[in-house]
Amino acid sequence: MRRRTDLMSTSQDHDQKALPLTHPIDVATIKPDGLVVNFEATEAERAGLAKLFDIPAVVKLNASFKLIRKGSRVKVRGDVSGIVTRLCVLSVESFDMDFHEAVSVDYDEPREDASSEDSEEEGPDPIIDGQIDLGALAAEFTALSLDPYPKKPGVVFDYHEDDDDKPPSPFAKLAAIKSKS
């Protein structure tokens, strides 16, 4: 099972230079009634994501989020959708594929007393330097939507063995002897 935290380790390492899509939001700007954030990835950001994901192209990427703050915790709800170009594992033809991922992630200030190695359950994602990077979150959920073995619609795996490729049956000689008698 793929976990969110396994997919985009660069967001955990806070290496913003490595991420082609960033959209930082200062937590202090979130009003009591929440904050709505919508954005579309630029051509350069989409090209960077395609390279990061090792796919031919990210044709379109839209993100829509609502951020709600309660104390130090921030709830992020929304969705990420778009179109990616993939290579079919059967025909090796490129094809465009729509995707839509619902997003529901909680953030909180990092706790000094909590050790991530000791805890079995996942807690909220950390707020880093008072900010949440919604671009990294959109990239992460785009990565989650990618099928590791994409198949172009309508392409069917058609496996057949040639009779010449089959090894001879150990009983073939017996059958030949029996048919002679």
pLDDT digits (tens, 9 = 90+) for 158-180: 776 665 666 777 777 777 777 77
d(Cα 132, Cα 122) in Å, to the nearest integer?
18
How far apart are the C-alpha atoms of 107 and 130, rounded to whole Å?
11
Residues of the chain with pLDDT under 50: 1-3, 5-16
Q: How many CB atoms lie within 10 A of CB 118?
A: 6
Instruction: Give buried/exposed letters for 9-45 (b at 16+ CB in 10 A, else e).
Output: ebbeeeeeeebbbbbebebeebeeeebebebebeeeb
- Detail the DSSP E strand segments found in the chain: 24-26, 35-40, 57-70, 73-87, 94-108, 125-126, 131-133
pLDDT at 35: 97
pLDDT at 156: 86
- Sketch the domain layout of the chain as residue ranges: 4-180
Determine contact, residues 22/135, Cβ cutoff 8 Å: yes
- The predicted-structure confidence for 129-153, as pLDDT tens digits, reads as follows 999 999 999 999 999 999 999 999 9
Return the biggest CA–CA distance within the chain: 94
- Give the pLDDT of residue 101: 98
Q: Which residue has the tokens 């359950």?
A: 121
Strands 131-133 and 73-87, by their bridges, are unpaired
Among the listed residues 24, 31, 36, the one whose alpha carbon sits nearest the alpha carbon of residue 70: 31
